[in-house]
Amino acid sequence: MSREVTSDILKRLKSIEGHVGGIARMVESDQYCVDILNQIVAVQRALDKVNSRVLDRHLHTCATTAIRGDDPDERERVIGEILNVFKRAGRR
């Protein structure tokens, strides 16, 4: 990944980390459950954005190279990896 993309992803993850810490403090101080749930949803959405950013980079770099390459086994391996990620994501 480029430095710009890596920096963006790390910035987002650090923000999520802080947000999760805030949720933990909300739980510890017995905050209203709906407020906690709303914050959890916000973290899930933020993680979805990170996921999309990483997937975008993967599809535009590693996957593109493999799919355009001459090795059919490598092509199938990369496609299989991507499909497995989507299958796992659909289970939540």
CB 16 within 8 A of CB 7: no
Question: What average pLDDT does range 28-46 have in this prediction?
Answer: 98
Is the pLDDT at 5 greater than 70, yes or no?
yes
3-state secondary structure of 49: helix
Q: CB neighbours of 55 closer than 8 A, spacing ≥ 6?
A: 82, 85
Q: What pLDDT score does 92 carry?
A: 61
Distance CA 53, CA 19 (A): 19
Domain range 3-89, CATH architecture: Up-down Bundle (1.20)
Q: Model pTM? A: 0.81
Domain boundaries, the chain: 3-89
How does pLDDT run across 41-73, given as a tens digit for each residue?
A: 999 999 999 999 999 998 898 888 888 989 999
Q: What is the distance between the alpha carbons of residues 15 and 13, in angstroms, rounded to a whole number?
A: 5
